[in-house]
Amino acid sequence: MSLLIFFVFLVVIIWAFECFYLRGGRPAAYPAPTDPDSLCVFASGQQSGPQQKAVINTVKELVSQISVAVHNHQLKKARVIFDSISDGRKYVSEFLPTAAGGVPAEWVMAPGAAPDRRVLYIHGGGFIMGCPKSHRTITSKFSEISGCSVLAIDYRLMPEHKHSDCVADCRAAYQWILENGPSGPGKTRQLFVGGDSAGGNLALSLAAWVRDNKLRAPDAVVALSPLTDITFSGASIRQNESTDIMLKPMMGVLNKLPQFIKSWWVVWTYHVRPGNPVASPLLGDLSNLPPTLVQASEAEMLLDDARRYVYKARASGSPAKLQTWAGMVHIWQIFDPHLPQAVEAWREIGKFLAAPVAVK
């Protein structure tokens, strides 16, 4: 009997450690903002049009090739395939290699981009793939619509490096861009931070770090379908599995794991506690943050990561707004100008960046 009691006690201790320390407990729920401008759903009648079908076919083929390479333990091949998403595109921007505080990067400059108006852009790719080349469609468009010089960083990737290395590279690049532009040393007049998916995670985490360390805050942050909670507690992680053709292969596997195993998988993979706000921005203090625009698809698994982040930020007094599109693939903005909804999303980003102080 004493052995049974000891075993039950041990199980309870392990469960409590995982639930309250690793995950930090259940994330609090926040109500939807009442301000109609803070939430906007876009649903055009072209969701099933030829452009959308072409995008879906492109994504399916890309995901299939990457999945095969990853399954065969060919990560380098998977990265090459992922980076090819930008192949064949024509750009108006100029791409200039640089080093941002020791972090490899490139300046992306559309015609007329001002050297003292800057964007720090952090690419997505699940922390294991992606580079400035893979996201040139996004960074070039960012420069076009904002009139800024965009710094796209090539931060260290997992699993060769830890999640903390990804974070450290973003912080180093941010400090560097405050004092350096494409023309050399010089303070920034206007600064934005952007990122998508895993890069959106890093961008939102960076914004909180900048606040806590009393650095010059970005004028605004744009996060495209960000991962904000690596405890993976959002309802859409499961509910949208069947409609998310891009994230399903990886995140669908996680859905099959018990939460206890999932938490330890995060510790093993990311080398960080899943409830740590540095890795899960949703779980941190979201007060006193810069104006933030979050875009997501109603069909993707990270919808609730985006939604809950904005709800909490608004409840914490920070100026944040959420825009969602019906039926889009994860990071559909990268298919500009071929996809009408991507054109629409960039138009909204342009309006947001034109008057970030007006966002309430």
Pick the CATH number of 36-354 from 3.40.50.1820, 3.40.50.150, 3.50.50.60, 3.40.50.720: 3.40.50.1820
Annotation marks residue 263 as catalytic: no
Name the catalytic one among 38, 143, 146, 197: 197
Tokens 């960039």 appear where? 346
pTM confidence score: 0.94
**pLDDT tens per residue across all 360 residues of the chain:** 677 776 666 666 776 667 776 777 778 888 888 888 889 889 754 456 888 889 999 999 999 999 999 989 999 999 999 999 988 888 999 999 999 999 999 999 999 999 999 999 999 999 999 999 999 999 999 999 999 999 999 999 999 999 999 999 999 999 999 999 999 999 999 999 999 999 999 999 999 999 999 999 999 999 999 999 999 999 999 999 999 999 999 888 889 988 888 899 999 999 999 999 999 999 999 999 999 999 999 999 999 999 999 999 999 999 999 999 999 999 999 999 999 999 999 999 999 999 755 443
> Within a 10 A sphere around the Cβ of 71, how many other Cβ atoms?
10
Provide long-range contacts, Cβ within 8 A and 24+ apart, for 185-189. 186/115, 186/116, 187/116, 188/116, 188/117, 188/118, 188/216, 189/114, 189/116, 189/117
Annotation marks residue 123 as catalytic: no
Tokens 């903002």 appear where? 33
Contact 317, 304 (CB under 8 A): no
Annotation marks residue 143 as catalytic: no
Residue 194 and residue 145: Cα distance in Å, rounded? 13
Spell out the domain ranges in the chain.
Answer: 36-354
Name the catalytic one among 18, 106, 144, 300: 300
> Within a 10 A sphere around the Cβ of 286, how many other Cβ atoms?
27
Residue 86 and residue 245: Cα distance in Å, rounded? 19
Residue 237 and residue 248: Cα distance in Å, rounded? 9
Residue 339 and residue 358: Cα distance in Å, rounded? 29
Positive or negative, the CA dihedral 180, 280, 291, 287 is negative
